[in-house]
Structure 1
Amino acid sequence: MILTTTATSAKTGVILSLLLLLAALSFAQGNRYVLVIHGGAGTILKENMTAEREEAYRTALTEALQAGYTQLKAGKSSLDAVEAAIVVMENSPLFNAGKGAVFTHEGRNELDASVMWGPTRAAGAVAGVTTIRNPIRGARAVMEQSEHVMLTGKGAEAFAASAGLELVDPSYFHTEGRWKALQRVLQRDSLRTQLDHDAGKQTANPAMDNDYKYGTVGAVALDRNGHLAAGTSTGGMTNKRYGRVGDSPIIGAGTYANAQVAVSCTGWGEYFIRGIAAYDVAAQMAYGQASLANAAANVIKNIGDMGGNGGIIALDNRGNVAMPFNTAGMYRGAITESGDVEIAIYK
């Protein structure tokens, strides 16, 4: 009888331990991050933000997270979640992408976007488009319905039309706030040119000017199958010229995803291109065995050391997240597997 009681107690103890372990595992899995987004980095200071405008950004970021999360909860892929989240931000005039895109020197809105599917490293991008309502959908169509990775300008728009995507008149992207920002920049550039000519030097520095907006939107996601995806979309830099293309549509610079990590970048694109920033995060993890946090921080430090600024969002296949930036702020948010939402703006 004693032996039976002892055996029963031991068995009960083992069962209890297993139940506690399963509960812990369930908690950990339920609270891993499954979707992370950004809405651009830059000189974003609380003292310059009205309460109403801050609330508008928080609401838009939350809406984007919920749109992507709905896809994940329905069993859809991380690519579906990335697209859904970015479409919400492209449709908002708050962000420098889609509807809220900045203007070029010629007074046009030229849009860039890219996506990447981690399991196969398939990728697609569009650059310099003016009529594709949601460039992120154009990028995905290039990836899934063509043999190419990047299409540009009129060719990308013709392809988007053949793929059945929604096209709009270029005037759709015109917002008064962005137009006024261009006028301020043109006026200051004219003055700077005159002063620099008189002084024999060049002083203009876009990184120090709020009107030289070069933010983007982006998303990285992890689905229930453990697959990662990343996407980025932008209107580029205010007053950009000569068909300039930044890092956002360039795979490895502004966007990258493989089986281990997904990355989307925002900031001064020329530096992210030179630093191959998005791929560098993955490379440091794969070849240097760096943690996600360390790899992302190292890349942002490298960008800063070169003279650039911006930020990164990154998500690994375990649901860990990193969101380093070297600017005053970055619009960013994340949602866990159990639906907990986190939104942040300032440093």
Structure 2
Amino acid sequence: MEQLMKDFFLFLSKNQGLNAAAKKWGLRFGASRFVSGETIQEAIKGVKDLNQKGLCCTLDHLGEFVFSVEEANESADYCIKTLEAIHSSGVDCNLSLKMTQLGLDISRDLCVTNMRRILDSAKKNGNIFVRIDMEDYAHNEVTLEILRELLQDYDNVGTVIQAYLYKSTDDIDSLKDKHPNFRLVKGAYKESPQVAYPNKADVDENYKKIIKQHLLNGNYAAVATHDDNIIAYVKQLEKEHNIPRSQFEFQMLYGIRTQSQVDLAREGYRMRVYVPYGNDWYGYFMRRLAESPANVKFVLKGMFTK
């Protein structure tokens, strides 16, 4: 039943009609738990509140289904506005983005041009770090290729490695000499068993493997997890291999396990919260519902109670 529910919400996440309707609804049906607001001002306020709790952040202006050059350029402009707002407000925050928002499905050159505009702005506004979110398997290799290209000119950019892909260990090794800053995740898209581990236990084991691999390569790891077993594993690696806390951080999603976030920060770990915002929230929200039955229960409770 849990797998059926996950597949159902992942299917809904790709529905363009519902995505368009959601922009008109606003942050209803529990989405405000996972999305900080619709405007930059609301997002910055949310980041300030988290900073006061000892948490650092990364902002992501949500967007799906970009089909024109104009939309791609608008998305890039909004990323630049976000960087400027981060700098002017003085918050402790990075930027996350998806390259399909920047026109990757339209033109690789368009996407790279927009990425360079954003990274130039990030440099100008205090050398803010920019994280390229990894999308589905169809975009995986081109994302890594563009990262290799960008790392020749920028030191403030990184991407994501997904543990459910068979190729993840090879990808880490192929880029280790570039000293990349990777966010390490289990993976949230529905993929074929030809390219991804179908069983959760195998994903969990590979997740531990790539965390250890990347840390022992001496490179920076952002371990994005809500799993206590994985958190304990990272702490164990830290002790066994004398890994400095300056070489890694934990990351969690906005609105999920909020007390655990504060607890980790109080223990002296760098704890970063992924803070999404914008009116194009529908696809992101559906993927959060797909991840956990508990999230669905929360939303249903919010719909039928005052």
Q: Same fold (TM over 0.5)?
A: no
User: Which structure is higher in RCO with an 8 Å CA cutoff and minimum separation 6?
Assistant: 2
Which structure: larger Rg? 1
Q: Which has the higher helix share?
A: 2
TM-score for the superposition, normalised by structure 2: 0.32
TM-score for the superposition, normalised by structure 1: 0.29
